[in-house]
């Protein structure tokens, strides 16, 4: 929750009002005991307009915009991106960066590596939930070495930290 009076109004695509105060949100990143949780290095803002899963998602800076569509598998018409796809792209890229960091620290060759994030949407006892499978291919390493790296990457990846204890994440080597 933002502190009282810290909200600003910005204009999103099409002139719609977007209430956002990144600085105030950053100041609120604290642990339950009041200690700072992190120092923000970068913040971005995504805006959903229209009909949620059948609307539009865009970055506030205008660099990326998607028409969204509910997947056919969940009763929609398909034909557009969906939040699970966007999450899969972000998680794969973030985890791959963490893998490269860990590989560099441990002096293990990770050139030519790939990370695939498979994101599933399903029903759970509270309505809907997500599950993720992260599969890494690291051609120059044995399966055991690759497994060691992906487990270490899972400890430092911001997406992994955010999902830990919230959704099932399976790590795999290909």
**Structural domain boundaries of the chain?**
9-74, 83-173
Give the C-alpha separation, 139 to 136, whole Å.
10
Residue 19 in this model has a pLDDT that exceeds 70:
no
What pLDDT does 93 receive?
98
Predicted pLDDT of residue 123: 92
Q: In this predicted model, which residue has the larger pLDDT, 24 or 127? A: 127
* Gap between the Cα atoms of 142 and 173, Å rounded: 10
**pLDDT tens, position by position, 28-75:** 555 666 666 788 999 999 999 999 999 999 999 999 999 999 999 999
To 10 degrees, the CA torsion angle through 150, 115, 91, 41?
70
Per-residue pLDDT band for 5 (boundaries 50, 70, 90) equals: very low
CATH architecture assignment, domain 83-173: 2-Layer Sandwich (3.30)
pLDDT of residue 15: 45
d(Cα 150, Cα 172) in Å, to the nearest integer? 8
* Strands 114-124 vs 56-59: parallel, antiparallel or unpaired: unpaired
pLDDT tens figures, 116-155: 999 999 998 889 999 999 999 999 999 999 999 999 999 9
Could you tell me which residue, 77 or 23, shows the higher pLDDT?
Answer: 77
Q: Looking at residue 42, what is its pLDDT?
A: 94
Q: How far is CA 20 from CA 1, 50, 54, 143, in A?
A: 11, 18, 23, 45
Q: What pLDDT score was predicted for residue 41?
A: 94
Q: What share of the chain is helix, strand, coil (3-state, %, to 5)?
A: 35, 30, 40
Q: Is 60 exposed, middle or buried (0-12, 13-18, 19+ CB in 10 A)?
A: middle
More confident residue, 27 or 76: 76
Strands (DSSP E) found in 71-166: 114-124, 127-137
Cβ neighbours of 55 (radius 10 Å): 16
Beta strands in 20-113 (DSSP E): 46-49, 56-59, 65-67
What would the mean pLDDT of 9-16 be, rounded to a whole number?
A: 41
pLDDT at residue 126, rounded to an integer: 83
């Amino acid at each position: 929750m933002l502190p009282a009076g810290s909200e600003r109004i910005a204009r999103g695509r099409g002139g719609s009002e977007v209430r956002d105060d990144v600085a105030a949100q950053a100041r609120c990143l604290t642990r339950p005991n009041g200690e700072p949780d992190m120092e923000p290095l970068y913040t971005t803002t995504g805006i959903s307009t229209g009909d949620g899963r059948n609307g539009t998602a865009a970055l506030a800076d205008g660099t990326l915009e998607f028409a969204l569509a509910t997947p056919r598998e969940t009763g929609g018409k398909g034909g557009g991106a969906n939040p699970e796809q966007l999450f899969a792209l972000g998680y794969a890229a973030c985890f791959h960066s963490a893998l490269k960091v860990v590989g560099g620290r441990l002096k293990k060759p990770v050139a030519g590596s790939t990370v695939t994030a498979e994101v599933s949407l399903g029903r759970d006892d509270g309505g809907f939930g997500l599950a993720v499978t992260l599969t890494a291919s690291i051609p120059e390493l044995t399966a055991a070495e690759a497994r060691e790296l992906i487990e270490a990457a899972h400890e430092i990846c911001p997406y992994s930290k955010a999902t830990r204890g919230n959704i099932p994440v399976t790590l795999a080597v290909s």
